[in-house]
């Protein structure tokens, strides 16, 4: 266990960074987004793989080290636990976004409503059906949406201890989400892999 003086210093650092963060637009930057949900699951279960699948291999060391520190700080009391959890969410989302080549300045608050296309894509995943998407887009895109959704669904039952398989699912998820987002926003969606890379 870390000495109390070190834990106090870490707690101060966490509070400083958390207080000076702010929010920008991005689905994975939301408190209700999939990356924060994965971070919560990791802390609840003690299994860091829930978040490792959302970051690149070269970022594993940073996440593993932070996971260990956060779990120690969480034992100091309710306030320390809440602050440590938020800092862990911030760290995982930041590292995930960096891996996508996208900037990050903070988390969106609970209650944030994502873009229409992202919301439709998430609903499709929850309902295991793309009908709600197909009803709102041109028929010429139906085949591609079905293809991306089928690929996503074929990878969803991965073993959480198989980080490589988990990352493949996340990549399929990101591609599907942003392709649908592009359709709803009217962006060029000829290549769903062109902007978000894992």
How confident is the model at residue 19, as a pLDDT?
37
- Asked if pLDDT for residue 43 goes beyond 80, the answer is yes
Task: Return the minimum-mean-pLDDT range out of 7-21, 78-92, 121-135, 156-170.
Answer: 7-21
Q: Is the pLDDT of residue 110 over 50?
A: yes
Q: CB pairs under 8 A, 24+ apart, for 84-91?
A: 84/11, 84/14, 85/39, 85/40, 85/43, 86/18, 87/14, 87/17, 87/18, 88/39, 88/43, 89/31, 89/35, 89/36, 89/39, 89/40, 90/17, 90/18, 90/21, 91/62, 91/63, 91/66
Phi-psi region of 62 (alpha: psi -120 to 50; beta: other; left: phi over 0): alpha
**Cα distance between residue 157 and residue 159, in whole Å:** 7
With b meaning 16 or more CB within 10 Å and e meaning fewer, what string describes 131-154?
Answer: eebbeebeeebeebbeebbebbbe
**Closest by Cα among 163, 173, 172 to 64:** 163
Summarize the confidence of residues 30-55 as an average pLDDT. Answer: 93
7 pLDDT band (50/70/90 cuts)? low
**Domain edges within the chain:** 4-100, 116-185
Which two three-digit tokens encode residue 157?
A: 């039952």
* Residue scoring higher pLDDT (160 or 25): 160
Per-residue pLDDT band at 29 (split at 50, 70, 90): confident
**Mean local confidence (pLDDT), 67-93:** 94
Q: Quick one: average pLDDT of 22-48?
A: 79
* Band (5; pLDDT cuts 50, 70, 90): low
What is the predicted pLDDT for the residue at 17? Answer: 40
**Confidence tier at 98 by pLDDT (50, 70, 90):** confident
Answer whether residue 157 shows pLDDT above 60.
yes
Tell me how far CA of residue 65 lies from CA of 51, 135, 189, in angstroms.
Answer: 13, 46, 38
When pLDDT is averaged across residues 10-17 and rounded to a whole number, the result is 46
**pLDDT surpasses 60 at 149:** yes
């Amino acid at each position: 266990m870390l000495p109390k003086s070190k834990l106090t210093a870490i707690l101060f650092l966490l509070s400083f960074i958390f207080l000076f963060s702010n929010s920008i637009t991005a689905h994975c930057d939301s408190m209700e987004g999939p990356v924060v949900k994965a971070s919560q699951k990791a802390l609840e279960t003690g299994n860091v793989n829930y978040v490792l699948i959302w970051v690149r291999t070269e970022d594993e060391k940073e996440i593993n080290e932070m996971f260990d520190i956060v779990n120690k700080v969480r034992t100091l009391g309710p306030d320390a636990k809440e602050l440590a959890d938020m800092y862990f969410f911030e760290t995982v989302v930041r590292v995930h976004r960096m891996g996508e080549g996208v900037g990050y300045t903070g988390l969106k608050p609970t209650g944030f409503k994502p873009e229409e296309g992202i919301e439709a894509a998430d609903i499709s995943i929850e309902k295991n059906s793309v009908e709600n998407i197909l009803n709102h887009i041109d028929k010429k895109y139906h085949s591609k949406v079905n293809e991306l959704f089928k690929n996503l669904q074929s990878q969803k039952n991965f073993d959480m201890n198989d980080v490589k398989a988990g990352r493949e699912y996340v990549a399929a998820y990101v591609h599907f989400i942003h392709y649908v987002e592009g359709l709803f926003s009217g962006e060029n969606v000829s290549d769903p892999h062109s902007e978000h890379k894992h």
